[in-house]
Amino acid sequence: MDVKLWNDKREREMYDNFADLYAIIKATEKLEKAYVRDLITSSVYEPECLKLIAQFKTLTSSLVGALPSIERFAEIYKMDCPAALNRLVSSGIPATYEHRASAAASTTGSAAIVAECVQHFITAMDTLKLNMVAVDQLHPILYDLSGSLNKLGILPPDFEGKVKMKEWISRLANMGASDELTEQQSRQLHFDLESSYNLFMAALPNSGA
């Protein structure tokens, strides 16, 4: 005899989302363990981790109100996944990004600011990947990124990332809050963010980038 977990379409969708969330957490736990045990390379680990983090953010944002805390979700469904919870909830960025930021910070003496910059770069790029391209969605993220870059003393005033973010912030400021970037503008912003991030990591001493 089949037992239904739901009474209507909305409940069914919620449980389907819960199943997806369960799978993402389990997959992240396996990925983290494989990386720690040196079973996969950084080049394999990093894109897979980024994909899982993006999927996690998308799914949890759609479950607001229906989902208890992630820790409570893991407890309810008896999930022993500490590495996944750390990566998805506490960190929000791949371990490889943390390692680069940590190596750079040991020389720059600005661990918190370096990590902050990395987090803002990743958040901005993830936002575009999720097709969140409205001005009121992008402007605060780019503003925070620009502020973090300006706080890091080792970056010169004409550092490309600073210049590009200032240009984009100015461009968005001249648009309406509900206006959206075109596909071409979105691709250009993502390109500028990725290019600026790579230059940022290269500019940090001993970053290994």
Q: Residue 65 carries which DSSP code?
A: T
Q: Which of 39-53, 64-78, 99-113, 167-181 has the lowest mean pLDDT?
A: 99-113
Question: The tokens of 68 are what?
Answer: 């208890």
Neighbours of 116 (CB within 10 A): 19
pLDDT digits (tens, 9 = 90+) for 34-93: 999 999 998 899 889 988 988 888 788 778 777 778 999 999 999 999 999 999 988 888
Instruction: Give 205's contacts (C-beta < 8 A, 6+ positions apart).
Output: 104, 107, 108, 154
Question: The tokens of 141 are what?
Answer: 């993220």
Give the predicted TM-score (pTM) of the model.
0.60
Q: Which of 33-42, 57-66, 133-142, 193-202 has the lowest mean pLDDT?
A: 57-66
Contact (CB, 8 A) for 46 and 94: yes
What was the pLDDT predicted at 108? Answer: 53
Contact (CB, 8 A) for 189 and 126: no
Q: Which domains does the chain have, with CATH numbers?
A: 9-93 (1.20.1440.200), 101-201 (1.20.120.1130)
Determine the Cα–Cα distance for residues 41 and 54; give it in Å rounded to an integer: 20
What was the pLDDT predicted at 2? Answer: 59
Q: What is the mean pLDDT of residues 126-134?
A: 88
Contact (CB, 8 A) for 159 and 149: yes
